[in-house]
């Protein structure tokens, strides 16, 4: 190609068959594309399963992807190089506010699966949103009503957010919303919607301008919406698919009866370590996961937390030593620039699931839980040195930050869990860690 010519834009050719829409997704972001869209593309029956994906926080993402017929490049970034693949399983990209199109698609009898990546915080926000269609779960309830009215039958809803028992959490949130607006719909949902629990994993940092240039250079076309991810991917699911599903197992997905041990392993060891690295790392001036991991203080804090969490992950099939080793390698991949500020978002919701269960389990066993307490102390230290934080409880958090000493610590802990804040011994324990953390930081 002549270097002065603009390379062509990535797009579908007329002759390329497009799979029919049978999956509707809420929360079109980079993670959906590197994970569920990738698994669907690699299912043996991928020709039968197209995805219509609706945006959540980024409505502009639909426009850019729609211009490419839903196609995008997945850049698989290992420690030694990049490989490139065009993913074609998303066949329609829609602005999430288009509840009419969402209802139409969910009401279609051919639609069998609804997947969600709406962020952890959205499950709590759902409860306050009945009667509106401004939140993803409220939109989902509206669309499920359309399916009931159309008589299209049972369907599976699959949460792919980092929450323990995410299927049950979704069932409760959707059920409460339906109950508040249309009790008969709540009954229909109870009888016709299968809420599948899943544990999802693939590190997917935000795409940068530099990534766009890498793709143009390597692939010879312009892609305005590539996604960069690590080579590792994992998907564990538990639940029924009454209207069918793609053969995701062909791509490595695993179906289990009891998902809890797998969820906890992922949430505590991977996500918990991420939160420690994010908060401790940012306080200590690092910007990426790989940088924070190379700081002994941060790494020791991670290992100490892992030792505690591992005591509550006793099933041999979990192979915790191998899992820990693999995590150190994944986090250490410095070619993946996974920014700590991205992980630091929504701390109250995340720590409730990443730190609190381990702290509670350790204390119930008569031990200190200092490793888990340290994750929370790192979060408080981070809040003390920034005004630029993103959290669903940001407004209340500001009030708590204005207090002093242990009152301040207790008020911040209350945002994670009332039980934490009510336990004076835990408040002091975390408060002491905060001081030691700050002292080490400024040494």
- Residues lying near ligand CS2 in the complex (CB under 6 A) are found at 162, 201-203, 271, 274, 342-343, 350
| Least spacing, CB of residue 49 vs ligand CS2, in Å | 22
| Least spacing, CB of residue 203 vs ligand CS2, in Å | 5
Looking at the Cβ atoms of 87 and 343, the one nearer to ligand CS2 is: 343
Looking at the Cβ atoms of 103 and 348, the one nearer to ligand CS2 is: 348
Q: What is the DSSP string of 310-321?
A: HTT---GGG-HH
Looking at the Cβ atoms of 117 and 433, the one nearer to ligand CS2 is: 117
Q: Cα dihedral sign for 275, 339, 433, 402?
A: negative
Torsion-angle region of 252 (φ positive above 0: left; ψ -120 to 50: alpha; else: beta)? left
| Least spacing, CB of residue 202 vs ligand CS2, in Å | 5
Neighbours of 330 (CB within 10 A): 21
Q: How many CA atoms lie within 13 A of 127 on its CB side?
A: 8
Q: How many CA atoms lie within 13 A of 22 on its CB side?
A: 17
Task: Give which of 298, 272, 347 is closest to 119, Cα–Cα.
Answer: 347
Rounded Cα–Cα distance for residues 9 and 65 (Å): 11
DSSP state of 234: E
Looking at the Cβ atoms of 49 and 268, the one nearer to ligand CS2 is: 268
Looking at the Cβ atoms of 353 and 430, the one nearer to ligand CS2 is: 353
Looking at the Cβ atoms of 162 and 433, the one nearer to ligand CS2 is: 162
Looking at the Cβ atoms of 7 and 231, the one nearer to ligand CS2 is: 231
Looking at the Cβ atoms of 22 and 324, the one nearer to ligand CS2 is: 324
| Least spacing, CB of residue 31 vs ligand CS2, in Å | 7
Q: In the chain, helix, strand, coil percent, each to 5? A: 55, 15, 35
| Least spacing, CB of residue 381 vs ligand CS2, in Å | 18
Give all strands of the β-sheet with 82-87 in edge-to-edge order.
82-87, 72-77, 227-229
Residue closest to ligand CS2, measured at CB: 274
Q: Is 247 exposed, middle or buried (0-12, 13-18, 19+ CB in 10 A)?
A: middle
| Least spacing, CB of residue 234 vs ligand CS2, in Å | 8
Task: Give which of 45, 207, 59, 198 is closest to 117, Cα–Cα.
Answer: 198
**Max alpha carbon distance in the chain (Å)?**
70
Looking at the Cβ atoms of 68 and 238, the one nearer to ligand CS2 is: 238
Looking at the Cβ atoms of 73 and 271, the one nearer to ligand CS2 is: 271
Phi and psi at residue 94, to the nearest 5° = -130, 145
Q: How many CA atoms lie within 13 A of 191 on its CB side?
A: 7
Check: CB of residue 132 under 8 Å from CB of residue 99: no
Q: Which residues contact 261 (CB under 8 A, 6 or more apart)?
A: 313, 315, 317, 318
Rounded Cα–Cα distance for residues 5 and 261 (Å): 54
| Least spacing, CB of residue 342 vs ligand CS2, in Å | 6
| Least spacing, CB of residue 387 vs ligand CS2, in Å | 21
| Least spacing, CB of residue 27 vs ligand CS2, in Å | 13
Looking at the Cβ atoms of 125 and 193, the one nearer to ligand CS2 is: 125
| Least spacing, CB of residue 402 vs ligand CS2, in Å | 27
Rounded Cα–Cα distance for residues 343 and 129 (Å): 26
| Helix-then-strand count for the chain, H and E | 22, 11
| Least spacing, CB of residue 333 vs ligand CS2, in Å | 12
Task: Give which of 398, 305, 300 is closest to 356, Cα–Cα.
Answer: 305
């Amino acid at each position: 190609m002549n270097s002065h010519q603009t390379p062509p834009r990535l797009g579908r050719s007329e002759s390329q068959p497009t799979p029919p829409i049978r999956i509707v997704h809420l929360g079109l972001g980079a993670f959906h594309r590197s994970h569920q869209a990738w698994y669907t593309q690699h299912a043996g029956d991928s020709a039968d399963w197209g995805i219509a994906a609706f945006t959540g926080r980024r409505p502009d993402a639909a426009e850019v992807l729609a211009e490419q017929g839903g196609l995008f490049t997945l850049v698989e970034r290992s420690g030694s190089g990049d490989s490139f693949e065009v993913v074609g399983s998303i066949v329609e990209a829609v602005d999430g506010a288009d509840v009419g199109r969402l209802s139409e698609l969910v009401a279609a009898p051919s639609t069998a699966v609804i997947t969600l990546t709406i962020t952890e915080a959205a499950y709590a926000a759902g409860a306050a949103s009945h009667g509106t269609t401004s939140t993803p779960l409220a939109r989902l309830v509206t669309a499920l009503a359309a399916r009931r009215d159309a008589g299209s039958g049972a369907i599976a809803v699959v949460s792919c957010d980092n929450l323990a028992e995410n299927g049950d959490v979704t069932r409760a949130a959707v059920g409460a919303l339906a109950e508040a607006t249309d009790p008969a719909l709540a009954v229909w949902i109870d009888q016709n919607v299968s809420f599948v629990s899943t544990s999802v994993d693939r590190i997917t940092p935000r795409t940068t301008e530099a990534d766009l240039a890498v793709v143009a250079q390597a692939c010879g076309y312009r892609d305005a919406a590539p996604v960069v991810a690590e080579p590792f991917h994992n998907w564990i699911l538990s639940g029924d698919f009454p209207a069918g599903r793609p053969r995701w197992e062909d791509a490595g997905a695993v179906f289990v009866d009891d998902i809890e041990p797998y969820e906890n392993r992922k949430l505590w060891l991977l996500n918990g370590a991420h939160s420690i690295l994010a908060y401790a790392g940012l306080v200590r001036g690092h910007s990426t996961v790989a940088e924070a991991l190379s700081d002994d203080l941060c790494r020791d804090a991670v290992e100490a937390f892992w030792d505690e969490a591992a005591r509550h992950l006793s099933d041999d099939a979990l192979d915790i030593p191998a899992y820990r080793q693999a995590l150190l390698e994944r986090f250490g991949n410095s070619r993946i620039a996974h920014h700590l500020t991205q992980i630091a978002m929504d701390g109250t919701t995340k720590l409730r699931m990443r730190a609190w269960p381990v702290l509670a389990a350790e204390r119930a066993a008569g031990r200190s839980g200092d490793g888990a307490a340290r994750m929370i102390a790192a979060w408080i230290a981070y809040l003390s040195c920034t005004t630029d934080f993103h959290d669903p409880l940001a407004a209340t958090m500001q009030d708590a930050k204005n207090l002093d000493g242990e009152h301040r610590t207790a008020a911040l802990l209350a945002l994670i869990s009332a039980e934490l804040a009510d336990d004076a011994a835990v408040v002091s324990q975390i408060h002491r860690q905060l001081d030691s953390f700050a002292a080490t930081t400024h040494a």
